[in-house]
Structure 1
């Protein structure tokens, strides 16, 4: 483990090891770090620069307060609680109180996450987060029971099998939604814009994480990227080559679909940018310590050889998907179509803790697009705005700016981006919403996907070739890609199940 992360771990345990006359010995018994860390704090105090003594005195007072509260709860709470429960709650509160994406995972939660990232698990196919004590849907995964049932980003899950989730934390709620494949579950849903909650009954399945899905519409390649896992870039490249071969070696362009992509690994986002951008900055990250800040440049080869590219985004496009959309937009390598993205401009690092004590997910940097802008709380604004439905439900959509205590948008250029002058003439004719008679969206029928259909029109116009009346209703296909732990832009704290 990186020494910096090890010291961070040590500081966290030190808070408990010296807090109060009773709490200190208690932690020393339960933690192998207790005595050593208490001595470390004493050493830090003795080595402190002149003028720092008051800071250490205040730290000791706060640690004593923590110990006093611990003892009061331990002794007087209405039901017996274990020391581990109290410490786990304290650690989680320490991290979730910083920003919406930092969190503590117990050993069980960490193990569950590792099972999820292995590529398949039992459940409904939802990514959820905690929002003001409520369970909120971030993303329904492609081809899962949740997506087939019509759950949407921003839905609140208020009950499971007739029992309220009021007062239930995120991990407990997720545990209740998991179960044996083939068993039924009923979720009570509150949706913004609807007066009354409604129930949705689904059957749990083994969820196969299918990162890359692809299809050929005429001579236009379509590739959907559901998340950024360790094999995303290689999967995208293979899918493109297969579609090119299927088209007889000649394509008109590519639609890269990043809608409802919640993010993933930073290095994979950079690698995907390398497939379209040959030189220049892709993304820069700025950490608390300038030595940990970095700029990542493109050193790739354009796999399309300059073909027109349209990137589809929506309010569920977050983090790593925003890095890709922002880089291609800043380099004028693509035309972005859809609605404003989620707006998560931070990077998290997953730090396993020693002694089978789980892990923490810690926000360690902000990121910036090639032009130096931060999209934190703002999102990527599409070049061509196109809604999925006629109803303008943007006010009901969950975005970063709607979450509690988000980190500030700072450090980036404050100059508003200039309107693009290189958009094709068809951009001015694209409607921002479907016509009144447009059919309801059906995942199995691309002809009902209005944003996709408008993207195909843009590709056809840029390539100079006519477009079919509508894309054929054939399922997109592709292979499963595994996930990975490590530095990422993943939109935590959220849980997949």
Structure 2
């Protein structure tokens, strides 16, 4: 995909980046910035003249640009060459590698989430893990793009990851065989009791249409009418803003889906129901949306819209909390600027920045044997250095509320395994739907 088409068509909302179909005007340079530019040029000249080794101009200029954007927030960046190519392959959803969504945290590579069904997921890599070495070589302090580049490679080749998992005393090694990551954005299955389970793994192209097709297939397989639906957005780091709107529109008949507000002209946009799909495809059907700390951006848009319109009950863990919009601004033919230009808001005007989407019913993933230790080190947007602050100013107790113990959820992973329950959050959602009548809260609309 070319840069022009990237800027033209809508695009990505991930835990690390959101690229929508907007453009921003060039701002005038403040007249008082002259002395600051002089300072920058003075440093450039001094480095060129006095550094211990000769330094190429592009190294210094790119370093200055990277530093400028790093001073803003964790999601703004300058992309050129291989960096831009990697972004394009991520948008296409087809590359050879491990299948990880990662972020740099104080020089370390931290995993937001493995893509469901990817080689990394199958190898047991989990959200919140740190990768410290690749094939025995320390990567601490390495540029994130370079670390990602090393993890990618030809299908069938293997790489050894050294992983530090919070809560464990020692790092451990995991051998992962690279595969072609052709992510299935939507998978589905019919559960006992005629309950549909649709998993949205990323928001790539045509996700709205894919979910509609999944719904039709579930209807065909059901013995009689469907009795409930679980829309599973767990560990979904995002994707297309347009597809988040389309997916929400499948289940809404009126009202606002999401809005974004920015400082520049053209960055304040609203998205409403009944603009992509007509009607609610599952009208009157009880519905649960599952989220967790790996559900970010596009996932939060969908969960927030369905929650605010009371179309679904939200279950699971509080989401990641990325409520900012990044625009991809082309710089010539081979480079682009990914710049934070707006925040987005749920229909009720709630910004998910920092606080995320809080589930209506908090359900811990008791099936995870490392739950207790991993919960203490779980990463969200509010943990990233330099993140945008929520304009409302959330109190610490509001952000910490979901960490309190709930007497309803006391079974251990071992006890659940003995009962044949491999995914407690999904099990809990399904059991609730089996007890839900069509008049319950999950099926109410405005």
Q: TM-score range by the shorter chain?
A: 0.7 to 0.9
Structure 2 counterpart of 1:229: 204
The answer to whether residue 305 in structure 2 is matched with residue 322 in structure 1 is no
Structure 1 counterpart of 2:348, from 365, 371, 375: 371
Larger radius of gyration: 1
- In structure 2, the residue matched to 1:405 is 386
Task: For 1:413 and 1:296, locate their aligned partners in 2 and report how far apart those are by CA, in whole Å.
Answer: 26
* CA distance in 2: counterparts of 1:78 and 1:149, whole angstroms: 44
Match of 1:34 in 2: none
Residue 175 of structure 1 aligns with which residue? 149
Cα pair 1:386 1:433 within 8 Å, conserved: no
- Residues 114-142 of structure 1: CA deviation (Å, up to 9, x unaligned): 12322311111111111111111111011
| Correspondences of 1:147-162 after superposition (within 5 Å) | 147-162=121-136
In the superposition, the TM-score normalised over structure 2's length comes to: 0.84
Provide the residue aligned with 1:353 in structure 2: 331
- Inter-partner Cα distance in structure 1 for 2:172 and 2:394: 44
- What is aligned with 2:217? 242
Report the alpha carbon displacement of residue 291 of structure 1 after superposing the two structures with TM: 5.0
CA distance in 1, matches of 2:49, 2:206: 51
The residue aligned with 1:111 is 85
Tell me, in whole angstroms, the C-alpha distance in 2 between the residues paired with 1:440 and 1:362: 46
**CA 1:348/1:395 → structure 2, altered by over 3 Å: closer, same or farther?**
same
Aligned to 1:426: none
* Ranges in structure 1 where 5+ consecutive residues have no aligned partner: 12-43, 46-54, 418-428, 465-497
**C-alpha displacement at 1:155, in angstroms?**
1.1
* Counterparts of residues 345-494 of structure 1 (less than 5 Å): 345-356=323-334, 358-389=335-366, 391-392=371-372, 393-410=374-391, 431-432=408-409, 434-435=411-412, 437-438=414-415, 447-463=421-437
Evaluate the alpha carbon distance shift between residue 413 and residue 148 of structure 1 in structure 2; reply closer, same or farther with a 3 A threshold.
closer
Partner residue, 1:144: 118
Deviation at 1:76, TM superposition (A): 3.2
Which deviates more, 69-78 or 182-191?
69-78
SS in 1 for 2:45: helix
Distance 1:113 1:290 in 2: 26
Q: 1:239 to 1:60 in 2, by over 3 A?
A: same
Q: Does 1:209 align with 2:209?
A: no
Tell me if 1:76 matches 2:50. Answer: yes
Counterpart selection for 2:313 from 335, 338, 350: 335
CA contact (8 A) 1:284 1:367 kept: yes
Aligned residues: 404
Q: In the aligned structure 1, how far is the partner of 2:241 from the partner of 2:114?
A: 22
The answer for the alignment partner of 2:268 in structure 1 is 293
* Contact 1:347–1:366 (CA under 8 A) maintained in structure 2: yes
Q: Work out whether residues 253 and 463 of structure 1, in 8 Å CA contact, stay in contact via their aligned partners in 2.
A: no
CA contact (8 A) 2:198 2:211 kept: yes
Are 2:24 and 2:265, in contact at CA under 8 Å, matched by a contact in 1?
A: no
Deviation by residue 1:81-132 (Cα, 9 ceiling, x = unmatched):
3211222222222222211111111122112221232231111111111111
Aligned equivalent of 1:279: 254
Q: Secondary structure at the match of 1:432?
A: coil
- When normalised by structure 1's length, the TM-score is 0.76
Q: Matched residue of 2:202: which SS?
A: coil
Q: CA deviation at 1:188?
A: 1.1
Report the Cα distance in structure 1 between the residues aligned to 2:213 and 2:394, rounded to whole angstroms. Answer: 36
Residues 374 and 413 in structure 1, CA contact (< 8 A), matched pair in contact too: no
CA separation of 1:102 and 1:249: change in aligned 2, threshold 3 A? farther
Q: In the alignment, which residue of structure 2 is the partner of 1:270?
A: 245
- Provide structure 2 residue ranges, at least 5 long, that are not aligned to the other structure: 9-21, 399-405, 439-446
2:171 aligned with 1:190: no
Residues 411 and 430 of structure 1, relative CA distance in 2, 3 Å threshold: closer
Query: Which of 213, 227, 241 is residue 252 of structure 1 equivalent to?
Result: 227
Q: Is the 8 A contact 1:139 1:262 kept in 2?
A: yes
1:311 and 1:182 map into 2 onto residues whose CA distance is 36
Q: CA deviation at 1:284?
A: 1.5
Change (3 A) 1:291 1:6: closer
Distance 2:420 2:145 in 1: 35
